[in-house]
Amino acid sequence: MDFALTPDQERIQLAARSFAEKSLRPGYQDRDRSSEIPRYLAEEMGALGLIAPGLPEELGGLGLDALTMGLLVEEVSRGDFNMAYLQILGALNGQILARHARPDVAAEFVPKICRGETLIALALTEPGTGSDAAHLALKARREGNDYVLNGEKTSISLAHQADLAVTFARTGSEGEGAHGITAFLVPLDIPGVHRTRFEDVGSNIVGRGSLFFEDARIPDVFRLGEEGRGFTQVMQGFDFSRALIGLQCVGPTAVSLEETWSYVTGRKAFGSPVVNFEGVSFPLAEGETLLEAMRLLCYKTLWLKDRDEPHTAEAAMCKWWAPKTAFDIIHNCILLHGHGGYGKETPFQQRLRDVMGLQIGDGTEQIMKLIIARERVGRVAVPY
């Protein structure tokens, strides 16, 4: 077992950290008052190869391994957790397009996603189905060389500002469950697509909203893969994005701990720096322990992916445990700042609000635990 990064990984990690320190971290809190991803920042990330570097070079990626991609997500989210959404969605959707879109369609859209010129959403959840996504209802009806989409997607990250959405629709009957679902690439500026935006607790520049499809017509070349295979396609991708989400949560946790160590070393009470008290240093020491465990779990999951070994259970572990642990550690960091920690001028409250979203988004804790149970003992452990 070798925990060392390669010289290339170290170089790329350092470059990403320097970008995040200079260009992302200073504006993280100001951007909380905005409702859109600054396109110039997306393009800067794209120019540095930070959005979807795991994709093949001919599609605008760098052909990097999954672990290196994870290192880059961790670094970006140290500066701005929300800008890392572009990496998660770019990598997940980019991988679906690279594998399942017609080559000319992939060649047209994927490089723009990698460059940060095009924002792409993933539209799976509906008003009636979230965890139980296999029973989605949005309909795609075949008409000649087109598909006509009708229905609603909801709770979609970037819904109000994305240019494209990988959209999952029912082409078969309801009775077919997951086997009747097909994925489509949908440009969101076509007639028949309308959007709304929610008011959320956090991740304001990402935003969530609904996408309404009313006789929205797309050519059949925008179908991704075979009819009825859409659900399997997205589920394969989730194993990757779940480990990346874990590392997205590692970033703000690490900087929160660093800032809190520094604060408690300078702050004095009862004649000594408060870090002198075990009631202060021990929660931080525990936080460091959990942080290291989170990071290693995510790295191991990506390492398994790079070796083409099964990693579904590990990915689900990353997804339920990292956002929850990040939330708990950042919460402690707020408490250890005393009254100052409660103020909006510190970044802690924003980090807390931001990471909380991913305790739900991309699958809840309960669903992740069902996946882990299923991986251990089979379908007997899941409701159907």
What are the structure tokens assigned to 360, written together? 């739900």
Q: How many CB atoms lie within 10 A of CB 218?
A: 21
- Binders of ligand FAD in range 83-122 (CB under 6 A): 121-122
The single-letter code of the amino acid at 288 is: E
Q: Using the rule CB under 6 A, is 241 a contact of ligand FAD?
A: no
- C-alpha to C-alpha distance for 276 and 258, rounded to whole angstroms: 16
- Confirm if 368 and 320 have CB atoms less than 8 A apart: yes
Residues from 364 through 383 that contact ligand FAD (CB under 6 A):
364, 366-367, 383
Pattern of binders to ligand FAD over 335-364, x per CB under 6 A?
A: ----------------------x--xxxxx
Which residue in the set 124, 291, 329, 334 belongs to the binding site for ligand FAD (CB under 6 A)?
Answer: 124
Strand 146-157 relative to strand 208-219, pairing: antiparallel
Total of chain residues touching ligand FAD, rule CB under 6 A: 21
Q: Which of residues 129-168 bind ligand FAD (CB under 6 A)?
A: 130-132, 155-157
The helix (H) or strand (E) run that includes residue 46 is helix 39-47
Binding string, 204-223, against ligand FAD, x = CB under 6 A? ----x---------------
Choice between 3 and 384, CB closer to ligand FAD: 384
Q: How near is the Cβ of 58 to ligand FAD at its closest, in Å?
A: 27
d(CA 342, CA 335): 8
Give the H/E segment covering residue 71. Answer: helix 66-79
Residue from 42, 92, 106, 123 that binds ligand FAD (CB under 6 A)?
123
Residue 130 vs 192, nearer CB to ligand FAD: 130
Measured between alpha carbons, how far is 240 from 302 in angstroms, rounded to an integer?
7
- Residue among 118, 57, 58 nearest 90 (CA): 118
Residue 233's nearest CA partner among 97, 374, 41 is 97
Whole-number minimum distance, CB 329 to ligand FAD, in Å? Answer: 19
Residue nearest to ligand FAD (CB): 130
Q: How far apart are CA 259 and CA 320, in angstroms?
A: 25
Q: Between 101 and 156, whose beta carbon lies closer to ligand FAD? A: 156
Binding site for ligand FAD (CB under 6 A): 121-125, 130-132, 155-157, 208, 357, 360-364, 366-367, 383
